[in-house]
Structure 1
Amino acid sequence: MGQKILDIKDFSFRDEVGDPFIIRMHHLDHYPKGNGKMGVKKEKLEHKNLGEDFDFNSNFKMYYGKDVPGFPVHPHRGFETITIVLKGFVDHSDSAGLTGRYGNGDVQWMTAGKGMQHAEMFPLVYDDKENTLELFQIWLNLPRKNKFVEPHYKMLWNEDIPIVKEINENGNIAYIKVISGSYKNTNSLDPNPDSWANDKNNNVNIWIINMEPNSSIDIPKISSTLNRKLYLYKGGNIYIDGTEIKNPKTINLNGNEQIKVTNGDENSYLLLLEGEPIGEKVVNYGPFVMTSMEEIHEAYRDYEKNHFGGWPWEKEGPVNPKEKERFAKYSKENIVYPKK
């Protein structure tokens, strides 16, 4: 048998996952009660570097927002974003005039393709309690042949995403939320049509795992070429191949081995990212992911020329009405809400 654990590192806000992924980011912000307009009260903004607030010593970060936290309008080309909201809400707006609100377990899958602008704002919808936000955003690369496809986004509602209940020989339970790929013959919802994940042979698995005390799961052997990362981001300690791993950690695993993960005496929460590499040159520069610097320069020229379709919203960081429930607007005629 080969080595199962390739290396273990500290868990961080940002991680370069490896082909076919680009980066993984983890946001955890304990936002306070809202100010009635989905923003932060002025007294809470003192000493904040508004417009570029990434203070990791603070309970919450405003990022590029100045009243409502979040990421006002910015462009992308050449890759996909998969945003998994564990807690709180995100308001999406884009250059096609589409919008939505998602959160509390929902996932947005967005293909930037040939170029789009979007805003991701974090509305503080509650004025009577804190507005904690926790999310993962994963950048998944597109192969060169798909880098100029039409932009596309879809919502994977929490109610629709399959969850596998894994019970071990001692009756302890783990829950595997299958966002992409499959777990023990349970398949995910369909990813976007031009995604590397859309071909099952590429083995793109994205799981959120909740392990109760003393539960266990088996991550199956796939191939020697697979890139596999497991993130223990919250909870207790886990054990792999006789090694105790203390929360929080990033674990690089062998894709050609079956990996048994056993939890300790506390609930543990993990994210699995794995996939076969695309195997093409990757040039990531700012908001663009291409295969050469010339393509990066071309992306900047195109953006300066037409701003990827412009920006139809009055504000750089629009938010939906406070009372609006989770929804996705795919066109003027197609507005979708999660099933009740």
Structure 2
Amino acid sequence: MSDAVIYALSPITFRLDLKDPFLFTAHHIDHFPKANANLGPATAAQHQEFNMYYGDTVPGFPEHPHTGFETITLVEQGVVDHFDSLGNGGRYGAGDVQWLSTGSGVEHCEMFPLLNEDRENPFELFQIWFNSSPEQKQQPADYKMFWREHIPHVSAKDTQGRDTNIRIISGQYQGTEAISRPPHSWAAAPENKVNIYLITLAPHATLTIPATTVTATRFAYFYQGDSLELANTQIQHKHLAELKPDVNIQLQAGEVEARILWLEGEPIGAPVAMRGPFVLNTNQELDDAFRRYRATHFGEWPWPSPAPVFSREQARFASYDGGQRKEFPEQS
């Protein structure tokens, strides 16, 4: 291992432990079977082949609170139904990204309806817990959908004519800018250089990620493929590398296509006090937030159950402004 470039290398089963401005990332993978009429699994799990999480019928995470940070949800396979205490809802699927600023507090649920009754329902997503500055933690909650049709890509050939592709979720790559982030996000300011990429390399393809600043945090998670050469070091799939930020880093795929989640950005530099789904700066702030949540629930829950879902036929969409405005992705 090159100690000068790779600071740490860790095997990953589910949780990626990260550093400021990132908190952690969860990599959910489930091999759900065919669906029943109620959008749940038609058969029970065998030998932990899938997780029901906390849903009684439909897999997912029923109503729960957050405050003080952001969740960035990148769906690779499957469908997510979103509902929140702001009165907004939506459905998004493979290739889409939801960016939720929890700010001063919000309740939401994330359900994973199984839509296919005639075939299996594989499910995979990343959820990045991304910190907010002390000032941003006081702002109202907000969210934004990044539809797969709109997310910028940089596709190119390497010197041997092999395909490389970068989906730019945040920041920029080679002058191509991501969709704007919610306004009260640490990632919204260009000077914070928060770059989040989903990288796909054809077999044996090479790609160089340019240096960022010496003060930045930088991670690469190799989550699909047989092997990856990273900074002249061979790593196996499902390994997380913490990297030196101020150098160019070359990646090369192995015998099969490689996929990498790339995370980098300037640290916020504020104290972190984290308790369950709340992320603030002091224990006193956490105590105050829990008291406020018990008194207000961060607003009334306007939905008929803690774990609602849309119908099987519902197309992808998002609603904003308390459900007054709906947005559907423009098909490319």
1:259 maps to: 249
Question: Matched residue of 1:314: which SS?
Answer: coil
2:23 maps to: 22
Q: 2:142 aligns with which of 148, 152, 163?
A: 152
- Structure 1 spans left out of the alignment, 5+ residues: 48-56
1:235 maps to: 225
2:33 aligned with 1:32: yes
Q: 2:302 aligns with which of 312, 331, 336?
A: 312
> 1: distance between equivalents of 2:28 and 2:254?
25
2:238 aligned with 1:248: yes
Contact map agreement 1:83 1:135 (CA 8 A) in 2? yes
Contact map agreement 2:38 2:57 (CA 8 A) in 1? no
Aligned runs of 1:105-124 on 2, under 5 Å? Answer: 105-124=95-114
1:333 maps to: 324
Compared with structure 1, are the counterparts of its residues 255 and 110 closer, same or farther at alpha carbon in structure 2 (3 Å cutoff)? same
Root mean square deviation, CA, Å: 1.4
- 1:170 shift after superposition: 0.5
Question: Deviations along 1:130-184, whole A, 9 cap, x unmatched?
Answer: 1111000001100001101011011000000011113111001111000001111
Question: Matched residue of 1:44: which SS?
Answer: coil
Question: Matched residue of 2:296: which SS?
Answer: helix
2:187 aligned with 1:186: no
- Amino acid corresponding to residue 30 of structure 1 in structure 2: H
1:50 maps to: none
- Amino acid corresponding to residue 327 of structure 2 in structure 1: V
- Structure 2 spans left out of the alignment, 5+ residues: none
Contact map agreement 1:87 1:133 (CA 8 A) in 2? yes
- Amino acid corresponding to residue 324 of structure 2 in structure 1: E
Contact map agreement 1:33 1:40 (CA 8 A) in 2? yes
| Residue correspondences, number | 329
- 1:241 shift after superposition: 2.8
Aligned runs of 1:1-340 on 2, under 5 Å? Answer: 3-41=4-42, 43-44=43-44, 58-331=48-321, 332-340=323-331
Moved over 2 A (4+): none
> 1: distance between equivalents of 2:84 and 2:204?
44
> 2: distance between equivalents of 1:228 and 1:330?
33
> 2: distance between equivalents of 1:333 and 1:305?
27
Contact map agreement 1:24 1:137 (CA 8 A) in 2? yes
1:51 maps to: none
After TM superposition, the structure 1 stretch with the greater mean CA deviation from structure 2, 117-126 or 218-227, is 218-227
Identity %: 42
